[in-house]
Amino acid sequence: MDKHIFFTGFMASGKTRVGRRIAERLQREFIDTDVLIAEKAGKSISDIFEQDGEATFRKMELELIQNLVKSTSPKVISLGGGALSQEVIVKHIRNSGVLVRLWAKPEILSERIARKNTRPLMAGLNNEERLQKIKKMLEEREVFYSKADFSVESSNDYPEEHVCERVLHLLQFWKDHSIDVSTSSGERYPIFIGKQMFHKIGHLLEGLGLTPSHQFLICTDTGVAKAQANSLTTLRNQTAQAPVFKFRAGETSKNLTSLNQLYTFMLRRNFSRKTCLLQFGGGVVGDMAGFGAATYQRGIPFIQFPTTLLSMVDSSVGGKVAVNHSEGKNMIGAFYQPKAVVCDLEVLKTLPHQEFLAGLAEIIKYGVIYDSDFFKYIENNADSILKKEESTLKYLIEQSCKIKAEVVGIDEKETGLRAILNYGHTFGHAIEKLTNYQTFSHGIAVSLGMRVAARVSTLLNLWSKEEEERQSKLLNFFGFPSHFDVSIKEAWKAMGVDKKVEKNNRNYILPTKIGCVKKHANVEETIIQKAWEAIQAKEVL
Ligand SMILES: NC(=O)c1ccc[n+]([C@@H]2O[C@H](COP(=O)([O-])OP(=O)(O)OC[C@H]3O[C@@H](n4cnc5c(N)ncnc54)[C@H](O)[C@@H]3O)[C@@H](O)[C@H]2O)c1
């Protein structure tokens, strides 16, 4: 179903006029909630406030919106000024539509209000008083307006038609491919999944409140800069020729030395706290640039443009950013959320097959840990996945992002549920580290870790041998390796400094059936050893 479109904004920001035009363009019904409420009550809004009280008005407003969102024909709805102060209304809007904020400079609002002179709240004020009151009210209401998915300026410098065009451009992003990720602070950010989105990025950045005056910086790596030179040029063209900082490609450069080079680059160019960092790369660039954004001048906005399958389905969602330390992977890091994630399927065309597999490992992981139907989908569509058919890939990315968004929405800081995402990671990290991050990429190491974890579950009778076989059959079909040359003794030591070790308790995420995993503490070392060596020896149960 098409989404409803809601407009919010200060009085005289153009909600009704622009809303009406958009409704005409999209051939939808236009609704002004204040007008409907007044009609139903048979008196003006100010009379309702005066005679029945604000609580009565808010109740009527909530009832109206509850009914509107149920409607199966999508509408364009202009909201009253205080509608977003009701959290339950915000929830209804988020579940059923896109929330657009129109804004204008206070001076322009003041001039428009003075011209019409129909706003009771501004009655009797001179120019200066009106301007000050507008500024104060805008400040107070910012907390509500900032709930909008995107904002568009309704300036007097260009015609209303131009404002409508901008709104329509941005609606396209939300209509086609948006998933929301919620954060513990009650904020949220969108993930867009689609094709050829880079040439429209200027609109998106502006809608997210980032104009060229913010100054952009693009972070990438040497591999991506070469393979995706055209997309990089497009991104630069859309961001007033933003400077580009390149890390050396590969996990070995994910460290404080590389990060320090980024800080120096930024400081020498006088980048301020308003600079927006656009990361254009895989998980390595994303983690490093994200940590750079989290720490540069105590935090600057950043946006993820993932270029590997793994970074689209995993690393760019959820806000974990980090660099490695010689003592352990991702040991220096933070939780820091991007303003948006933009997955353009086009960039995957240059991705080497091994990197594709790395992402696929994380996708299969989601099936095992959370969603047996998704696992079944992967089994049933394995051929089309191997052929990298676009519609199948899009579905895989969407579903994976939905699962990850759901998990991190419940547990952003990994105090509980989020730990399930580490399935295969404890073993995988040890394999990566002990092969000096050279032999296996992260995703491939995770696939090996999943094989070990699955075998541990079988040995502990947590699931059946048949379930383990389903996982290994799928991994084998796609050509994931099944051998690794790392001694369990070394691995046992390495796993002792994993982040998932709490008060000397070693925690393992182990499957109990396809679609479900549990955290287990302190599995006996001999069981881990047996599972590890059995996988190395390709022993089938
Ligand atoms: N933050 C998280 O929640 C999280 C989750 C999972 C993984 N990670 C991290 O992600 C990293 C792995 O990420 P990755 O697998 O994306 O590896 P990566 O970033 O190293 O990219 C892999 C290689 O592919 C190249 N490449 C990237 N995009 C390309 C494209 N479109 N065309 C051609 N070449 C391209 C890169 O130059 C690089 O050489 C690890 O450091 C891991 O710890 C983080």
Give the distance (Å) from ligand 1 centre to CA of residue 499: 20
Question: Is the distance from CB of 171 to CB of 98 less than 8 angstroms?
Answer: yes
The bridge status of strand 507-513 relative to strand 516-521 is antiparallel
Residue whose CA lies nearest to ligand 1 atom number 18: 282
Closest ligand 1 atom to 311 CA? 16
Question: Is the distance from CB of 462 to CB of 518 less than 8 angstroms?
Answer: yes
Give 502's pLDDT tier (boundaries 50, 70, 90).
Answer: low
Question: Is the distance from CB of 344 to CB of 305 less than 8 angstroms?
Answer: yes
pLDDT single digits (tens) 24-58? 999 999 999 999 999 999 998 888 988 998 899 99
Closest ligand 1 atom to 321 CA? 1
Model confidence at 204: pLDDT above 80: yes
Would the CB of 358 count as within 6 Å of ligand 1? yes
pLDDT single digits (tens) 440-482? 999 999 999 999 999 999 999 999 999 999 999 999 999 999 9
Question: pTM for this structure?
Answer: 0.90
Which of 119-128, 157-166, 281-290 shows the lowest per-residue confidence on average (mean pLDDT)?
119-128
Model confidence at 354: pLDDT above 60: yes
Give 23's pLDDT tier (boundaries 50, 70, 90).
Answer: very high
Would the CB of 284 count as within 6 Å of ligand 1? yes
pLDDT at 175: 79
Give 411's pLDDT tier (boundaries 50, 70, 90).
Answer: confident
Order of all β-strands in the sheet with 30-32: 30-32, 76-78, 4-8, 97-103, 150-153
The preferred substitution site among 254, 308, 425 for testing ligand 1, maximizing ligand atoms within 8 Å of CB, is 308
What is the rounded CA–CA span in Å between residue 506 and residue 439?
A: 26
Give the distance (Å) from ligand 1 centre to CA of residue 233: 21
pLDDT at 510: 97
Would the CB of 351 count as within 6 Å of ligand 1? yes
The preferred substitution site among 302, 425, 435, 442 for testing ligand 1, maximizing ligand atoms within 8 Å of CB, is 442
What is the rounded CA–CA span in Å between residue 136 and residue 112?
A: 17
Model confidence at 174: pLDDT above 80: yes
Give 185's pLDDT tier (boundaries 50, 70, 90).
Answer: confident
- Give me the sign of the Cα torsion angle 140, 144, 150, 153: negative
Would the CB of 314 count as within 6 Å of ligand 1? yes
pLDDT at 261: 98
Count of CB atoms within 10 A of residue 518's CB?
Answer: 13
Give the distance (Å) from ligand 1 centre to CA of residue 205: 24
pLDDT single digits (tens) 513-524? 999 999 998 799
Give the distance (Å) from ligand 1 centre to CA of residue 282: 3
pLDDT single digits (tens) 242-281? 999 999 999 999 999 999 999 999 999 999 999 999 999 9
pLDDT single digits (tens) 56-82? 999 999 999 999 999 989 999 999 988
Would the CB of 283 count as within 6 Å of ligand 1? yes
Give 211's pLDDT tier (boundaries 50, 70, 90).
Answer: confident
Model confidence at 1: pLDDT above 60: no
Residue whose CA lies nearest to ligand 1 atom number 10: 283
Give the distance (Å) from ligand 1 centre to CA of residue 357: 12
Closest ligand 1 atom to 287 CA? 1
Give 500's pLDDT tier (boundaries 50, 70, 90).
Answer: low
Residue whose CA lies nearest to ligand 1 atom number 12: 283
pLDDT at 213: 76
What is the percent of the chain where pLDDT is above 90?
78
pLDDT single digits (tens) 295-329? 999 999 999 999 999 999 999 999 999 999 988 88
Model confidence at 429: pLDDT above 70: yes
pLDDT at 425: 94
Model confidence at 184: pLDDT above 80: no
The preferred substitution site among 234, 248, 307 for testing ligand 1, maximizing ligand atoms within 8 Å of CB, is 307
pLDDT single digits (tens) 370-400? 999 999 999 999 999 999 999 999 999 999 9
Q: What is the pLDDT averaged over residues 96-115?
A: 92
Helices and strands, number each (H, E), in the chain: 23, 16
Give the distance (Å) from ligand 1 centre to CA of residue 320: 14
Q: What is the pLDDT averaged over residues 119-147?
A: 87
Model confidence at 498: pLDDT above 90: no
pLDDT at 45: 86
Would the CB of 153 count as within 6 Å of ligand 1? no
> Which has the higher per-residue pLDDT, 175 or 463?
463
Token pair 């020498």 is found at: 268
Would the CB of 227 count as within 6 Å of ligand 1? yes
CA angle at 364 for the pair 361 and 366, rounded to the nearest 5°:
115
Question: Is the distance from CB of 351 to CB of 309 less than 8 angstroms?
Answer: yes
Closest ligand 1 atom to 347 CA? 31
Q: Which domains does the chain have, with CATH numbers?
A: 4-176 (3.40.50.300), 195-351 (3.40.50.1970), 360-536 (1.20.1090.10)
27 Cβ contact list (under 8 Å, min separation 6) = none
Would the CB of 228 count as within 6 Å of ligand 1? yes
Mean pLDDT of the chain: 92
Closest ligand 1 atom to 362 CA? 6
**Which residues are known catalytic residues?**
298, 320, 362, 404, 414, 418, 422, 425, 429, 442
Model confidence at 127: pLDDT above 60: yes
Closest ligand 1 atom to 308 CA? 28
